[in-house]
Structures are given as structure tokens and as C-alpha cells.
Amino acid sequence: MASLGLATAWLPAHATCLGDADALAAFAATRSGGFETPDDARRNATALALLECLGDPDPAVRDGLAFEALSAWLRAPALDVQTQRAMLERLSAMVRTPQDDSDGLRPPFAALVLSEVARTDRVAAWMTPDERAALVELAARYVETLRDYRGFDARDGWRHGVAHGADLLMQLALNPAVSPAQLERIVAAVAAQVPPHGAAFYVFGEPQRLARPVLFAAQRGLRDEAGWTAWCAERVATLGNDPALAYRDTAWLARRHALLAFLQALYVESDASGDPRLAPLRAGALAALGTLP
């Protein structure tokens, strides 16, 4: 999370977020008290207004205010279903159509807040089957088509699109209302980023985050041992068998790095859990690790 240096020097730059700089400063002052807002109508209206802050270039606003407040309120829970439904619609549009966001900040944070919205439906179902199905497809498409692999930098803070998309997939995979066919869609989306495209190296914990939706899908009995063994073997096969590339090509090394970290995450987490439902996945991951060059 971003730390807040709420000096008045930078507040005028955020005049469009929460209306004006004074409103932003007043809201920032509630952070130390957990964003407590006793008035229900004001809290719900502020939640919707905060969505416009998710593309803010300052991580103190985007992450330290907007995300933290929305996450706290959604988890409380402190927002009504009407607001959650409006958030679902607006955030989906941000993920689906990135708007004018050449910095790549808004979509990953929209996906992260969507993961919190999805969590509310998991805890107490309120989405219609069609809404939930649309969210599964949106999340899967976002993850599998993502090509911006930027994670963290000191100036902009976090983007972390792969991890945030994986968090959304995880919340959906945990939801008992998500069908086996939808679980397969989630797992297929993860597969599209293991390994990543091009020569991108996962160095911000992405393999571990991508492993989580797969672990929860396996916990729900999605596949048997043969199925998971085949799926993990398919991931290793993406390395190819060209000896001229092995340990001599940056893209090959990036793929191997991601595959090793991902398969290790699957194996370690499934083994440490002691959950017999994860034994098929554990066996598949171990077999794949044994074939990784």
C-alpha cells in the first residue's frame, strides 16, 4: 500500500478526483480512522466517486486512498447492493475499455477493486447468474490479453495487472456459484500467462498470485490427477525443444523462470495444505517440475 504524504502542495493537481482538492484533503483525513463515514448515503456516494481516483497518477491517492477505502467498505460490509452493482458496471467498463490511460494505471486498479466486489458476491450472493458469468468472462479476457507486465516503480507505485487480475480470478474461483465450466475458463486464463508473453520476467510475485485461482479450482475438484498432470505438462511444453535457445535466449529464460516459480507455488501450496483435494494438482505439478529443463 502507498503511504500518504498529504501535503497541500500536491492537492490542487487532483482537483478532478472527489470533486476538488478540499474534498480530497477532507477525505484523506478519515484514513487514520479507517475511513469511517457514519452517513450511509454519503458513504455510498463517496464510494462511487472514488472510482474516478483509480487512474490517479499519485499512488497515495490511487492506492492509499481510493483502493484502501473501497476495500475497507466492501469488506465491512458498508455499501449497499445498489452501489455494489453500480461499481460492478463502472469497473467492468474500466477494465474492458481502458479509456485514455497511456500510463496503464486505471485498468489494474479497476481489476483489483473488482476482486473486492466479487468477494462480496462470494460471501453473500447478490449478482444474477448473467452478471456473474459476464464477470468471469471479463476477468478471463483481461488476464489472458494483458501485455503490460509492469509491477512497481518508485515514482508511479504499483500497476501489477497480472497479479490484480489473478486476484479477481481467485475470488471467482472461490465462489460456489461459479460453475465447473466457468472454473475451466478461469484456469485457461491463467494458462495464457504461464509463461508470460515475450521476454517479460515475473519479479513481483506474479507466479504465486496466478497459482491461487488454480489451487482453489483444484480444491473444488475441477480435474483428476491425469487432468492436472496433462495441464501442467502443457505449461512446460511452451518452452519448446530448441536446444539453441535453452539457457541462451532471454525470452526462453524468462519463460523458464516463470514456469519454475509457478509450478513450485502449486506444489508447495498444495503439499503444505495437507488437503487431500489438492493431491491431484500436487502430483501434476511435481511431475512437470521433473521434466523442466
- Same domain, yes or no, for 199 and 188? no
- Same domain, yes or no, for 215 and 189? no
Residue 14's nearest CA partner among 45, 67, 50 is 50
- Same domain, yes or no, for 287 and 148? no
- Same domain, yes or no, for 120 and 144? yes
- Same domain, yes or no, for 100 and 241? no
* pLDDT at 189 exceeding the cut of 90: yes
- Average pLDDT value for the chain: 93
- Same domain, yes or no, for 199 and 181? no
- Same domain, yes or no, for 148 and 18? yes
Q: Which of 193, 213, 235 is the last residue of a domain?
A: 193
- Same domain, yes or no, for 38 and 137? yes
> Considering the entire predicted model, what is its pTM?
0.93
* pLDDT bucket at 17, cuts 50 / 70 / 90: confident
Q: Which of 165, 193, 221 is the last residue of a domain?
A: 193
Query: How many structural domains comprise the chain?
Result: 2
Domain range enclosing 156:
1-193
Q: What percent of the chain has pLDDT over 70?
A: 93
* Residue found by looking up cell 461499481 in the block: 87
Q: What is the pLDDT, as a whole number, of residue 22?
A: 85
Q: What is the CATH number of the domain that holds 22?
A: 1.25.10
Q: What is the pLDDT, as a whole number, of residue 99?
A: 55
Q: What is the pLDDT, as a whole number, of residue 10?
A: 40
- Same domain, yes or no, for 61 and 5? yes
Which pLDDT tens digit goes with each residue over 232-279? 999 999 999 999 999 999 999 999 999 999 999 999 999 999 999 999
* pLDDT at 12 exceeding the cut of 60: no
Q: Which of 138, 171, 193 is the last residue of a domain?
A: 193
